[in-house]
Amino acid sequence: MYPSLVEPTIKYILQSELKTSNELKFHKNSLIYNIVCFVGLFSTIGFVLWLQYKDKQDIYQVITRENKKRDYILSKIQLYQKIKTREYTNIPM
């Protein structure tokens, strides 16, 4: 029989403690990994949706922008017509 430096009960206790420690470490790392994946997934989805809808305007903004364009064009047409009908000199005829 070979000499044993450590009793079998101590070996068993150390193995069970190491096994428990390994399981706790695995659960902690799994939890951290799942949280990181969850945050990464939802931030990616949120970023894609934000990029997709950031330039879309509501109906009221579209209507006001179109009205401003129409008013600008009409004012330029009216100004051109005034210039066209105005006399060029002040000499009476």
What's the whole-model pTM score?
Answer: 0.54
Q: Where are the domains of the chain?
A: 1-54, 56-85
pLDDT at 93 over 80: no
CB neighbour list of residue 57: distance below 8 Å, 6 or more residues apart: 65
Q: What is the pLDDT of residue 91?
A: 63
Q: What is the pLDDT of residues 11-69, one digit of tens each?
A: 999 999 999 999 999 999 999 999 999 999 999 999 999 988 887 778 888 899 999 99
Tokens representing 52 are: 């997709």
Q: What is the pLDDT of residue 3?
A: 79
Band (88; pLDDT cuts 50, 70, 90): low
Q: How far is CA 5 from CA 2, 8, 10, 11, in A?
A: 10, 10, 10, 10
The label of the residue with tokens 């695995």 reads: 26
